[in-house]
Amino acid sequence: MANNRIKSGIVTALICLLWSLHTFAQQAAFKQNLQARVDSLCAAGHFPGLSVAVVFPDDKMVAVASGMADSVKHQPMKTDDRMMEGSVGKTYVSAIAMQLIKEGKFSLDDKVSKYLGHYSWFNRLPNAADITIKMLMQHTSGIMRYEFKPAFTNDLTANPAKIWKPEELLAYVFDEKAPFKAGQGWDYADTNYIVLAMIMEQVSGKAYYDMLRDRILKPFHLTETLPSDKRKLKGLIQGYAGKNNDFGHQSEVIAPNGEFIINPQFEWTGGGVYATTADLAKWGKMLYEGRVFDPAMLPIMEDGVPARMLGRNTNYGLGVIIRQSPDFGVSYGHSGFFPGYMTEMCYFPKYKICIAVQTNSSDYASFKMQPLRVLNEVVKLYAATYKD
């Protein structure tokens, strides 16, 4: 009997070893094919540099990079280079908000006026009296964007050392007429997440970046994700925004002295972080598998409303873009833009993988394809490799 148990254990161990070797070989082959595909896409898309990371169902990861981190200095893109995430930073804000909701700090149906109504400027916000926290998180509040208004981009460019207060950002939309009644339309705006974070700071008694560090970055070991809260950001590679961009009016966004040509600090909770592509993919896998907050709340986050300006068959939940694909099923993630950089991050429940794509360019005029197309090509490669 004992011998049979020993034999059975040896057989089981051998099967596990063979399976592990098979999985390792398969992932190694996928990485090789991925590198070749990303090299091709980087050249075809006219990206200066391109970085891609894929986290597998077992949480193992492959990361590859192609092209240049700095085209002038001829520095190759590396997988440990950091880039601005842009609006993908809203995924961290939303996750912390879900934690605070679970803790009873506020609820999705609370009126914003409950928390901010005492400010003298509050009623100057569009739809001020009718907005709820859920509307902020879902971009259905009717508050419009401040960040692309010429008055703001001109002021931002003219005052690169200025440290922006949230209410100074909101002032660019004061007294404007909302495009729709609160809750009766959809219009993407960083402004919503600026207002949301003001509430989060009030109910928690902590600054947002302190919450980000203590609730997300430290406990989930996101060591390569950092706040973009100053002009000189360690490890941030050069980005190219195009000569005619409104944010600084020059293509290279990092000056020779290492400072950003504008102050990235303004973005705050509209984005507000920079990271390696690998850290971003790791974050998306944990977030959309329900490891960051109570998993019972994940369906609430992923319950979206139509967001047609983001594409066909696309909805927006609570800080999450929800796309439907006939081939790959539903995906959850976010897109990001910041002058000089573009980002895509998507989790595919069908495959239990998360893919992140970053490029150090936001010069749309030079692109031959969008980063989302790159991401779709990567998931096609994954599906073809693991079709068995």
Share of the chain above pLDDT 90, in %: 90
Please give the helix or strand (H or E) that residue 21 lies within, else none.
helix 2-45
Task: Supply the DSSP symbol for 217.
Answer: I
What six digits make up the tokens of 250?
Answer: 């020059």
The predicted pLDDT at position 330 comes to 98
CA angle, corner 333, sides to 289 and 294, nearest 5?
35
Quick: pLDDT tens for 5-58: 666 655 555 445 444 544 667 888 899 999 999 999 999 999 999 999 999 999
- The span from the CA of 141 to the CA of 171, in Å, is 16
Considering the entire predicted model, what is its pTM?
A: 0.94
Asked if 208 contacts 40 with a C-beta cutoff of 8 angstroms, the reply is no
Lowest mean pLDDT among 4-13, 110-119, 160-169: 4-13
Q: What is 48-385's CATH number, 3.50.50.60, 3.40.710.10, 2.40.50.100, 3.40.50.720? A: 3.40.710.10
Question: Which of 93, 331, 343, 309 shows the shortest CA–CA distance to 188?
Answer: 309
What six digits make up the tokens of 141?
Answer: 């509040």
The predicted pLDDT at position 27 comes to 86
Quick: pLDDT tens for 195-254: 999 999 999 999 999 999 999 999 999 999 999 999 999 999 999 999 989 999 999 999
- The span from the CA of 90 to the CA of 103, in Å, is 20
Question: Which of 201, 240, 211, 197 shows the shortest CA–CA distance to 69?
Answer: 240
Alpha carbon distances (Å) from 134 to 38, 190, 208, 232, 314: 38, 14, 19, 34, 18
User: Mean pLDDT, to the nearest integer, of 279-295?
Assistant: 98
